[in-house]
Structure 1
Amino acid sequence: MHDVYWSFFGEKYQSRSEFDAEVRQYQIEISGIDSWQPDEVVIQFPRIRIEYYRDEGGFEYEDFIEIESDNGEFLTGGELLFKVHNAVVEQLREINHHFFEGLNLKSIRSRDNLPVYHLCQGS
């Protein structure tokens, strides 16, 4: 998901279809092409942990979320970005580093046996 452009800004989305339409429009505005493929399988695990940085009172903290697939098998780009957005938007929308710049695999297994990814955030 390194070629996906998105900003963790605004509010949570209630509808996946509304979210996918917004992401598609954002891709076109930023890159000039419709490159959004929400149904592409991007992670072959049913559940993952994602670490990210948030700012609170001028201090930076590392935090994490856990994302679980709806099908219990894998995560598509659309499902993953939708769930990440809704989980972190309230913490990230007011800070400089609220742009999605990809996910990097940090560890194949955490202490609770989950793959750990790092959310790359840009400004």
Structure 2
Amino acid sequence: MNNLPDEREQRDEQIAELLQDGMTVEEIKRRLQTSYRAVVRVRAQRGIAVPVGRTRRSRDELDGLEEQAVTMLWAGVTQREIYAKLRVSPITQTRLRKEHRIPVQTRKGRKTPPADEGDPPALK
């Protein structure tokens, strides 16, 4: 007889317990030496929610963060600093810079003169 279904059920129980304890998929994969797919399958089958701190951001939350990022870009804050504070990706920051026509700040030591910055336009 084959014990694979029993082993799978036992592993699924372990995965479910660890998910309910708040462990991440990566932590569970390492601890149980199992696949990403197995962990996601157990989470879906048993209806185990992702912990609150690890869910995706809502559109309202993203809009607020993007507004803060625009303000910071106008103030000359670097993309690295904005990412560290707000977790807004460099790609999103570049999109915002283009949408709001925010000039790129020159780096220290560069020979090119700074762009004419003007006053930042009013936010929506």
TM-score (norm 1): 0.22
Question: Which structure has the bigger radius of gyration?
Answer: 2
More relative contact order, 1 or 2 (CA 8 Å, 6+ apart): 1
TM-score (norm 2): 0.22
Question: Whose strand proportion is higher, 1 or 2?
Answer: 1
